[in-house]
A and B are shown apart, each in its own frame.
Chain A
Amino acid sequence: MTNRFRTASGGRIDRTAPVTFRFDGTTYNGFKGDTLASALIANGVHLVGRSFKYHRPRGFLSAGSDEPNALVTVARDAARTAPNLRATQVELYDGLTAASQNRWPSLNFDAGAMNDLFSPFLPSGFYYKTFMWPAGAWKRFYEPKIRAMAGLGVAPTLPDPDRYTQNYAHCDVLVVGAGPAGLAAALAAAESGAKVILSDEQAEFGGSLLSETSAAIEGKPAAKWLAETLTNLEARDNVTLLTRTTAFGYFPHNLIALAERVTEHLAAPDPDLPRERLWQVRAKEVVLATGALERPLVFPDNDRPGVLLADSGRTYLNRYGVKPGERAVIFTACDAGYRTALDLATGGVTISAIADLRANLDGELPARALKAGIDVRPATVVTGTSGRLRVSSADLGKVKGGDVASPEKVACDVVLMSGGFTPSVHLFSQSRGKLAWDAASGAYLPGTSVERERSAGACRGVYGLQRVLEDGYAQGEAAAKASRDFASPSRGATPAPATSSRAFPAQADDLGTDGFIGATPHGRNPAFTKALVDWQNDVTSKDIKLATREGFRSIEHVKRYTTTGMATDQGKTSNMNALGIVSEALKEEVPKIGLTTFRPPFTPTTFGIFAGAARGDLLDPLRKTAIHDWAAEHGAAFEDVSMWKRAHYFPKAGEDMHAAVARECKAVRSSVGMFDASTLGKIEVVGPDAAEFMNRIYTNAWAKLEPGRLRYGVMLREDGFVMDDGVVGRLAADRFHVTTTTGGAPRVLAHMEDYLQTEWPDLDVWLTSTTEQWAVIAVQGQNARAVLQPLIEGIDLSKEAFPHMSVREGRICGVPTRLFSVSFTGELGFEVNVPAEYGRFVWEAIFAAGEPFGITPYGTETMHVLRAEKGYIIVGQETDGTATPDDVNLGWAVGKAKKDFVGKRSLARDSMSAPDRKQLVGLLTKEPAIVLEEGAQIVADPGAPVPVPMLGFVTSSYPSATLGRSIALAVIKGGRARIGETLFVAMPDRAIEVELVEPAFYDPKGERLNA
């Protein structure tokens, strides 16, 4: 199959490498070097999509990353399916399979096009105005329907099988964009010895030079100069060249994010290569050479397939050897339209007419067009187009003093339009540089810099090939020099103007800076026209005018109300025209209207590139204890506690959690159990002033704690509320072994460091996190001593020599240990601290020694139940950051005689001891089998009128196998004084009667601790 619209020769495609591809099920041919867009146009296919809202048929508007219409889904297989790719950027490879989007049942006949007929009822803001009634219908009916009708492509549901990598790079000068300005800048910086990275989003470097057939630089054809320049750059060790790499984000201190598409263009990607690569480049200096984007003209039916940007039409012809049509009408407000017309005429396209918005045509290009015999019509506009799925004619009308004369129909199969060029200031704007309105060229240009960057060429309003090259070279030289003088990543001032030390004599068409912003006149009834401003979001000039009539004046509000510029193309082609229309409607000058902020990404970026390797097991760091594998081998179910995996319970065959926990609890209460407490935070507090430091940081008094003893410590924030708790052992006069909650360890260490470093730098104390160094094995139950006795050397375990709340150093199974006599279960208990690398060895030895006693490993759920039976709190469960020690019955732990400690002054405020504070109590349901829901609210009278006063809430609730009934802890206003009362736990379907009791349900006198 031949390409009907392919030229006989020319272009940068490889005509010796034919490629077959499929679009919407039809097979087509193209060449290596084509994009999907150029290959489809070569086959005469212009209809490639349906618009977002009205489902209007759409073709290609551009030839680059600014394309708003031609969004396609490219699928290698069910998992490797990428929606919403711009066909103008999809490189053709053999076997490529692409499909159009947002149409049903087919692209040629789309049922959703009914929306176009109903469009009078779908103006801007129609969501807010229309779908107000009946209540609830939005969620159930309207929204799903609208979402199904409007939209883009569909994401694959399978996991992404490809790899994405992330690189960091540093350089002296990063040049973004490899058109003439960027190439010259990179050359200048490279020649000065600077380390340079040059990136460009396209497959080939060259930018506008890739579409040049007649221009010459330094006496050579542009293509030859380009090839030689690239050879020069490639040969340099100090230059990194990145094609297919989009600079999509500009972050503070010159951190630029680049997305490199590594294998997207390959028919058979090397599995060793990543699909995409994220570069995070920290550049001393940045040169932005991002060029300019051609503006469409806003006239009725400007979105019909076959209507495209003039310079894009020229690119299709010159770069890809593809004629955009056979008969062209040009509609232009600047000389770019003529340059395209002349090139197309040379390429064999009939130019039916050039309609020029301008009345006076005195430039060189219009003269050449007239000389070539082209029908040039000054002061003429296109007032409409015809053709169902492809433009077949354009209506050309003369503008006379604000009116448009009745138009003439001119047959054509392509309309090429140009409203001039908009400097691409996206990255400059992202860098938070301030834009300045340039009235002469009618454009926003880079003004005041914030970062160490400079713009070069068309993106700062410099046009004309020679001027662009010299500006690029000058900025490159200046950037390299500035990088040598680099002292700080912060920019002090906007860079001074630079002049090039090298001349680049060049011959090329000079397009000047003419252009048009806004909607062109058409003389038709606006009610029956659609002149598109934002192609991707289906926003017309009418919508924007309506928004201004409804009172929206700020461009930021107009943008959000009409959604203009909010699509995935970020308004690349639409922003300036929208501004022009608002400016005209409000009779305000453009710079007074303001400009919306450009935000990253410059073009849509995959999630894969952000995720990188951080997927699956690598998503989040996972902490495992030394005993983890033993627990896993013994069937433990695990739960996540901060970053730790903790054994939750150890089910035996056929047991659910409830049964396993009941068995584990009974084992601890009747004989002995063992528990992996290694995740507890541990901090070694050492130094001559360690005791003084502990005195200031904890509520408790430490001075009189003898070495060899333990104490339960409570830590407050300066505002007086409980922050953390834990058992602390004093090993020597100047050494404390502090434990913290599992989740609180980093917070507690940071809190301690904060006070030590900034408030009390005079204290001679060292803090060391030892969480990972110690494995901790809790052995709990009346037989705990009997289990440990034979394993221990050098410690007398007798009750008298080693009472409850003591610490001794010795050996267990030959391993050094810090042995604590401590209990979080209410039973006789020990915590065996051993170096983590011996954790499993000692655990297994204790397990073996405990076998005659039926020693039972238990998990965090049993630990929770056992401590709740004793009324021991868990910080973060019974406390919520607004609990004082007294609120949770820890008033006894506050050293009231101490002059000061963190939080003491706050406790002295009246409200901190008010009798109606929420206080910890126990709850017993009237019906013993009912287990309350944690978090449920507690009320005095469930029948009270709404809003029912809330007295407090349930903080912990479990079935207790030991007690044969449910138990719960709660915080209730004035709770301690209400013990004995009956209150109600309010549930959606009922109120549960509960009795308030003391929060120690089991062995309230603590006799079992000292067994």
Chain B
Amino acid sequence: MLIIDCPWCGKRPEIEFRYGGEAHIARPADPSALTDQEWADFLYSRTNPKGLHAERWRHIHGCGRYFNAVRDTVSDFFVVTYKAGEARPDIGGDK
């Protein structure tokens, strides 16, 4: 069971958290301006990289906050966690 470093609470065991999908996919400001294809991409297209992956996690059985993390999908280990709204740290991997 992984230890995940919640940016608000600190290190906690994995069972306190829930996965929230890929990070940094902002909801378009005006969805009606998007074509069907662009909207479908926003809804469904994800990078699914092998290696470093920026993703959303929620400390659901803790502070309840969503935050972002870069996790290595090969080793499953977290590389860094950071608060929602902050830019992805420059540590390589797919963007």
Q: Give the interface of A toward B (CB within 8 A).
A: 251-253, 255, 282, 432, 450, 489-490, 718-719, 750, 753-754, 757-759, 761, 899-900, 904-906, 908-910
Given A252-B2, A490-B78, A759-B26, CB of A905 within 8 Å of CB of B39: yes
Q: Which residues of A contact B20 (CB under 8 A)?
A: 754
Q: Which residues of B contact A282 (CB under 8 A)?
A: 3
Q: A905–B66 contact, CB under 8 A?
A: no
Q: Which residues of A contact B36 (CB under 8 A)?
A: 909-910
Given A253-B3, A750-B60, A759-B27, CB of A906 within 8 Å of CB of B43: yes
Given A900-B31, A900-B32, CB of A757 within 8 Å of CB of B78: no
Proximity bits, B74-86, A CB within 8 Å = 1, else 0: 0111100000110
Interface assignment of B30: CB less than 8 Å from any CB of chain A: yes
Residue of A nearest to B78 (CB): A490
Residue of B nearest to A451 (CB): B77
Q: Which residues of B contact A759 (CB under 8 A)?
A: 26-27
Residue of A nearest to B44 (CB): A719
Q: Choose from A490, A718, A754, A905 the contact partner of B34 (Cβ within 8 Å).
A: A905
Given the complex of chains A and B, what is the CA–CA distance between A908 and B39 in angstroms? 11
Interface assignment of B9: CB less than 8 Å from any CB of chain A: no
Given the complex of chains A and B, what is the CA–CA distance between A252 and B13 in angstroms? 10
Q: Which residues of B contact A761 (CB under 8 A)?
A: 84-85
Given the complex of chains A and B, what is the CA–CA distance between A851 and B20 in angstroms? 51
Q: Give the interface of B toward A (CB within 8 A).
A: 1-3, 11, 14, 18, 20, 26-27, 30-32, 34, 36, 39, 43, 56, 58, 60, 64-66, 75-78, 84-85
Given the complex of chains A and B, what is the CA–CA distance between A906 and B30 in angstroms? 13
Q: Which residues of B contact A754 (CB under 8 A)?
A: 20, 58, 66
Q: A757–B65 contact, CB under 8 A?
A: yes
Since A450-B75, A719-B43, A754-B66 are in contact, a sample of 19 more A-B pairs with Cβ atoms closer than 8 Å, ordered by chain A residue number, is A252-B14, A252-B77, A253-B1, A432-B75, A489-B3, A490-B77, A718-B27, A718-B43, A750-B58, A753-B64, A753-B66, A757-B66, A758-B56, A758-B66, A758-B84, A905-B31, A905-B39, A906-B43, A910-B36
CB distance from B36 to the nearest CB of A (A): 6
Given the complex of chains A and B, what is the CA–CA distance between A718 and B34 in angstroms? 14
Residue of B nearest to A254 (CB): B3
Residue of A nearest to B18 (CB): A750
Given the complex of chains A and B, what is the CA–CA distance between A800 and B77 in angstroms? 63
CB distance from A500 to the nearest CB of B (A): 31
Given the complex of chains A and B, what is the CA–CA distance between A251 and B2 in angstroms? 8
Q: Which residues of A contact B60 (CB under 8 A)?
A: 750
Residue of B nearest to A257 (CB): B1
Residue of A nearest to B56 (CB): A758
Q: List 13 A-B contacts (CB under 8 A).
A: A252-B1, A252-B2, A252-B76, A252-B77, A432-B75, A719-B43, A753-B58, A754-B58, A754-B66, A757-B84, A904-B32, A905-B32, A908-B32
CB distance from A119 to the nearest CB of B (A): 44
Q: Which residues of B contact A757 (CB under 8 A)?
A: 65-66, 84
Q: Which residues of B contact A908 (CB under 8 A)?
A: 32
Q: Which residues of A contact B27 (CB under 8 A)?
A: 718, 759
Chain A CB within 10 Å, residue with most, of B3, B20, B60: B3
Given the complex of chains A and B, what is the CA–CA distance between A856 and B75 in angstroms? 60
Q: Choose from A251, A719, A904, A910 the contact partner of B31 (Cβ within 8 Å).
A: A904
Q: Which residues of A contact B26 (CB under 8 A)?
A: 759
Given the complex of chains A and B, what is the CA–CA distance between A253 and B14 in angstroms? 10
Q: B58–A255 contact, CB under 8 A?
A: no
CB distance from B31 to the nearest CB of A (A): 4
Q: Which residues of A contact B30 (CB under 8 A)?
A: 900
Given the complex of chains A and B, what is the CA–CA distance between A718 and B25 in angstroms? 13
Given the complex of chains A and B, what is the CA–CA distance between A255 and B11 in angstroms? 14
CB distance from A567 to the nearest CB of B (A): 28
Given the complex of chains A and B, what is the CA–CA distance between A758 and B22 in angstroms? 12
Q: Which residues of A contact B3 (CB under 8 A)?
A: 253, 282, 489
Chain A CB within 10 Å, residue with most, of B27, B56, B78: B27
Q: Which residues of B contact A905 (CB under 8 A)?
A: 31-32, 34, 39
Given the complex of chains A and B, what is the CA–CA distance between A750 and B56 in angstroms? 13
Residue of B nearest to A900 (CB): B31
Q: Which 7 A/B pairs are nearest by Cβ-Cβ distance?
A: A905-B31, A489-B3, A253-B3, A757-B66, A759-B27, A252-B2, A255-B1
CB distance from A255 to the nearest CB of B (A): 5
CB distance from A73 to the nearest CB of B (A): 34
Given the complex of chains A and B, what is the CA–CA distance between A758 and B58 in angstroms? 11
Given the complex of chains A and B, what is the CA–CA distance between A546 and B66 in angstroms? 56
Q: Which residues of B contact A489 (CB under 8 A)?
A: 2-3, 11
Q: Which residues of A contact B78 (CB under 8 A)?
A: 490
Q: Which residues of B contact A490 (CB under 8 A)?
A: 77-78
Residue of A nearest to B34 (CB): A905
Q: Which residues of B contact A252 (CB under 8 A)?
A: 1-2, 14, 76-77
Given the complex of chains A and B, what is the CA–CA distance between A900 and B84 in angstroms? 23
Given the complex of chains A and B, what is the CA–CA distance between A719 and B66 in angstroms? 21
Q: Which residues of A contact B66 (CB under 8 A)?
A: 753-754, 757-758
Given A253-B3, A489-B11, CB of A899 within 8 Å of CB of B32: yes
CB distance from A976 to the nearest CB of B (A): 25
Residue of B nearest to A760 (CB): B27
Residue of A nearest to B76 (CB): A252
Residue of B nearest to A902 (CB): B27
Residue of B nearest to A756 (CB): B66
Given the complex of chains A and B, what is the CA–CA distance between A252 and B3 in angstroms? 8
Chain B CB within 10 Å, residue with most, of A253, A750, A904, A908: A253
Given the complex of chains A and B, what is the CA–CA distance between A909 and B42 in angstroms? 14
Given the complex of chains A and B, what is the CA–CA distance between A754 and B18 in angstroms? 12
Residue of B nearest to A717 (CB): B43
Residue of A nearest to B31 (CB): A905
Residue of A nearest to B30 (CB): A900
Q: Which residues of B contact A899 (CB under 8 A)?
A: 32
CB distance from B33 to the nearest CB of A (A): 9
CB distance from B26 to the nearest CB of A (A): 7
Given the complex of chains A and B, what is the CA–CA distance between A761 and B26 in angstroms? 12
Given the complex of chains A and B, what is the CA–CA distance between A104 and B51 in angstroms? 55
Q: Which residues of A contact B31 (CB under 8 A)?
A: 900, 904-905
Given the complex of chains A and B, what is the CA–CA distance between A754 and B30 in angstroms? 19
Chain B CB within 10 Å, residue with most, of A282, A490, A910: A490
Q: Which residues of B contact A910 (CB under 8 A)?
A: 36
CB distance from B6 to the nearest CB of A (A): 13
Given the complex of chains A and B, what is the CA–CA distance between A908 and B75 in angstroms? 41
Given the complex of chains A and B, what is the CA–CA distance between A718 and B39 in angstroms? 10
Given the complex of chains A and B, what is the CA–CA distance between A313 and B94 in angstroms? 58
Given the complex of chains A and B, what is the CA–CA distance between A302 and B60 in angstroms? 57
Residue of A nearest to B20 (CB): A754
Given the complex of chains A and B, what is the CA–CA distance between A536 and B23 in angstroms? 49
Q: B11–A906 contact, CB under 8 A?
A: no
Residue of A nearest to B85 (CB): A761
Q: Which residues of B contact A909 (CB under 8 A)?
A: 36, 39
Given the complex of chains A and B, what is the CA–CA distance between A750 and B18 in angstroms? 11
CB distance from A87 to the nearest CB of B (A): 34
Given the complex of chains A and B, what is the CA–CA distance between A638 and B18 in angstroms? 31
Q: Which residues of B contact A450 (CB under 8 A)?
A: 75
Given the complex of chains A and B, what is the CA–CA distance between A906 and B28 in angstroms? 13
Q: Which residues of B contact A253 (CB under 8 A)?
A: 1-3
CB distance from A693 to the nearest CB of B (A): 14
Given the complex of chains A and B, what is the CA–CA distance between A490 and B26 in angstroms? 30
Given the complex of chains A and B, what is the CA–CA distance between A403 and B78 in angstroms? 57
CB distance from A621 to the nearest CB of B (A): 13
Given the complex of chains A and B, what is the CA–CA distance between A470 and B75 in angstroms? 33
Q: Which residues of B contact A719 (CB under 8 A)?
A: 43
CB distance from A41 to the nearest CB of B (A): 42
Given the complex of chains A and B, what is the CA–CA distance between A432 and B36 in angstroms? 44
Residue of A nearest to B21 (CB): A754
Given the complex of chains A and B, what is the CA–CA distance between A877 and B9 in angstroms? 39
Given the complex of chains A and B, what is the CA–CA distance between A489 and B43 in angstroms? 35
Given the complex of chains A and B, what is the CA–CA distance between A759 and B56 in angstroms? 13
Q: Which residues of B contact A251 (CB under 8 A)?
A: 1
Residue of A nearest to B75 (CB): A450
Given the complex of chains A and B, what is the CA–CA distance between A905 and B35 in angstroms? 10
Given the complex of chains A and B, what is the CA–CA distance between A899 and B30 in angstroms? 9
